[in-house]
Structure 1
Amino acid sequence: MNIGFCGGGSICELGSISDVKLFFECVDFFVAKKDPEKNWALLLDRLYRRYLRFEDLDEAMVLMMEVKSKFLARPSSEVNWNMDLVGDRRRTWLDPTQSNLGEVFQTYFQHFAHCVESAKLFLKSWNIYQPVKITRTESAWFMVEESRPVEEYDLLEGEPFWARCAKG
């Protein structure tokens, strides 16, 4: 089960459910908890569990670039890598041998920026906002998620939709 960012007309794969969860756990542990005055809920709740509203895109982008900056200064050896997942290249797309977390999660930052720009361009071109969110990327699952009304995301409690019904 592959997970990715989507927004506008773009879908960008990130990896397994456990890969994406680990990214957000690292954001929480290494960045958000050390700087609690910032609106980290935008990434750790809105993006992780729901979707980003258009008016939140710029602030979320600034926060994501701050995460990238902090991750580039954080050695990847500070993460307790689950070798069962990392050793099996079919289950993870992450490479913990990279020197820092910024390099380990480089595609996350690139794909997020791409989906934010895609969402803005889609709105400008078609006057329709296709939210930036995390989703399953396999065609059948993606079609289910794309037809899900944003109101269901707004009411969501517990695990995000992309992390349900499968273990990654």
Structure 2
Amino acid sequence: MYELGPASDLSLFFDCLKTHVEQAHPDSAWSLLTDRLYRRYIALEDLDPAIALMERARKFLTLVQAASGVEWDPNLVGNREKSWLNPNQATLADVFGEYFESFAKACASAKSFEHDFHFYKPVKTIISDLPGFMRDERKSLTEYDILDGKPFWLR
């Protein structure tokens, strides 16, 4: 598990993926990230394609200046309780660098666990506070599969 900040930060990350990657480069199955990772989980057979897509997304976001790629809320900027993001980075790839690194680590861990124990723990986005984590950890993958609307981590 990797804690990346408040839900508003993670929502902004997925908004940037949709705006600056999915809409700007509609040639790929970005829904592995913008739907599966955002709302559900990454299945084992989709892990390698999702890793490749996340790397492509990172590369695309290196081309988007942080100052112009997002309308930063002045009430959040610099307030660690409300946002962990630093909009003073050069690009959106820099702003979300920890997200890309954590995703890579989570995928490597999931692959290793599946290889060593022949059991796949899906890569998914969850809330990290203890009550939310316990609630979401008990949910079956079927509950994630049929989910429509907001992801569990935003409820």
For 1:18 and 1:133, the matched residues in 2 are separated by: 17
Identity %: 42
Q: What TM-score do the two structures reach when normalised by structure 2? A: 0.96
Residue 136 of structure 2, aligned match among 134, 141, 145: 145
Corresponding residue number in structure 2 for 1:67: 57
For 2:24 and 2:110, the matched residues in 1 are separated by: 30
SS in 1 for 2:4: strand
For 1:137 and 1:46, the matched residues in 2 are separated by: 18
Residue 115 of structure 2, aligned match among 124, 131, 140: 124
Q: What stretches of structure 1 of length at least 5 have no aligned partner?
A: 1-10
For 2:118 and 2:137, the matched residues in 1 are separated by: 17
Corresponding residue number in structure 1 for 2:74: 83
> Which structure carries more relative contact order (alpha carbon 8 Å, separation 6+)?
1
Q: How far is 1:90 from its partner?
A: 0.9
**Structure with greater proportional strand content:** 1
1:34 aligns with 2:14: no
Q: How far is 1:85 from its partner?
A: 1.5
Q: Deviations over 1:103-140 (max 9, x none)?
A: 10000000000000111111111111110000011223
For 1:140 and 1:159, the matched residues in 2 are separated by: 18
Corresponding residue number in structure 2 for 1:5: none
Residue 54 of structure 1, aligned match among 30, 36, 44: 44
Corresponding residue number in structure 1 for 2:9: 19
Q: How far is 1:87 from its partner?
A: 3.4
Q: Deviations over 1:30-53 (max 9, x none)?
A: 111011121011100001000000
Q: What TM-score do the two structures reach when normalised by structure 1? A: 0.89
Q: What stretches of structure 2 of length at least 5 have no aligned partner?
A: none
Q: Deviations over 1:69-116 (max 9, x none)?
A: 111121101111011122322111100011111110000000000000
Provide the alpha-carbon RMSD of the alignment: 0.9
Q: Which runs of 4+ in 1 moved over 3 A?
A: none
For 1:129 and 1:147, the matched residues in 2 are separated by: 16
For 1:72 and 1:13, the matched residues in 2 are separated by: 23
Letter aligned with residue 122 of structure 2: P
